[in-house]
Amino acid sequence: MQAITDLKPLLQTPKNIVITTHPKPDGDAMGSSLGLYHYLLLKGHNVHVITPTDYPFFLHWLPGNGEVLVYTEKQAEAEKLIADADFIFCLDFNGLRRINGMGDVIGASLAQKVMIDHHLEPEGFDNFRLWNAAACATAELVYDFMVQMGDKHLLNKQIASCLYCGIMTDSGSFRFNSVTSHVHKVVADLIEAGADNSRIHELVYDTYSENRTRFLGYCLKDKLQVFPEFRTALIALTQQDLAKYEVTSGDTEGIVNYALSINNIKFAVIIIDRAEIVKLSLRSKGEFPANEVAKKYFEGGGHHNAAGGQSNLSLEATVEKFISILPEYKELLNV
């Protein structure tokens, strides 16, 4: 493992660079990737962003969105770019297994791997690493990377807008306990560089379709289960639920937070039947370890208060399994 600052002389001359992130990328994944993309373009590099899958419509406004390659849609082109790359920047994930079929392709590439991430337990596939589990967002670390490269002066409106989106979304609009004084100083610099904070919030959070809004109402009215004795709330969605409301990529994002926002609820989960696998998104408050539950029972992990997992069981069996583990955590949930 080499220090991230060792990259500085290596990036002084034009290189072929690929930037990638995790499947179904969120605001931080796309914001950090496209922020880095614009920065490296300014340095004279040949840069491409490749995502393993599609991503939500409410992120398509991001500067550079039109240049993003989706691996599942342009696999041959993406694999050639990966094979020809000198450097591959891996953002907002820290294990090649996390990126599905792209993992084997990137693992086989002779390119130098650079990981910029804030999730726990890095896998160790990278040659260079900027990693901080205390950071509120990978976009915060991309800003730090620019500073460490001596290029803060290159911060412009495009970069700032992308990084602001990443920090805003992964910090819960600056309400999570991962938001430090450093984060606010970074955000101040981004706004000074041209990030329109009010407009970015509107583009991300105020552009839902009518279907998505009605779907949210359905989730809260008909699908929400509350377990007061365990201070836990649960939403379980079938394939039929998704089809009925024509759910598209990103439409389920953030719904679990509504369950967590109920008074006296400390732990919440949304469990979704994605046909090929059942996915779980877990959120918690305070000291309750959502990531421990995800790792121990659902082949997942993540942050202390925000984690994800999966299950090869049916949706019904997965829900039963989740409910069955709550007594184990009853004391901690009622602290």
Instruction: Domain of residue 131: give its range.
Output: 2-200
Do 308 and 300 touch, CB atoms closer than 8 A? yes
**Tokens at 120, concatenated:** 């726990």
pTM: 0.89
**Within this chain, do residues 130 and 153 fall inside the same structural domain, yes or no?**
yes
CATH number for 300: 3.10.310.30
**Within this chain, do residues 29 and 174 fall inside the same structural domain, yes or no?**
yes
**Within this chain, do residues 173 and 57 fall inside the same structural domain, yes or no?**
yes
pLDDT higher than 80, residue 1: no
**Within this chain, do residues 174 and 239 fall inside the same structural domain, yes or no?**
no
Strands 46-51 and 69-70: parallel
**Within this chain, do residues 237 and 184 fall inside the same structural domain, yes or no?**
no
Sign of CA dihedral 157, 159, 161, 163: negative
**Total structural domains in the chain?**
2
pLDDT in tens, 99-116: 888 999 999 999 999 999
**Within this chain, do residues 266 and 185 fall inside the same structural domain, yes or no?**
no
The residue among 95 and 142 whose pLDDT is bigger is 142
**Is 205 domain-assigned?**
no
HSE-up of residue 252 (Cα within 13 Å, Cβ side): 26
**Within this chain, do residues 73 and 142 fall inside the same structural domain, yes or no?**
yes
**Within this chain, do residues 194 and 219 fall inside the same structural domain, yes or no?**
no
pLDDT of residue 101: 86
pLDDT of residue 176: 86
Phi, psi of 190 (to 5 degrees): -65, -40
CATH number for 158: 3.90.1640.10
**Tokens at 173, concatenated:** 């609009």
**Within this chain, do residues 271 and 327 fall inside the same structural domain, yes or no?**
yes
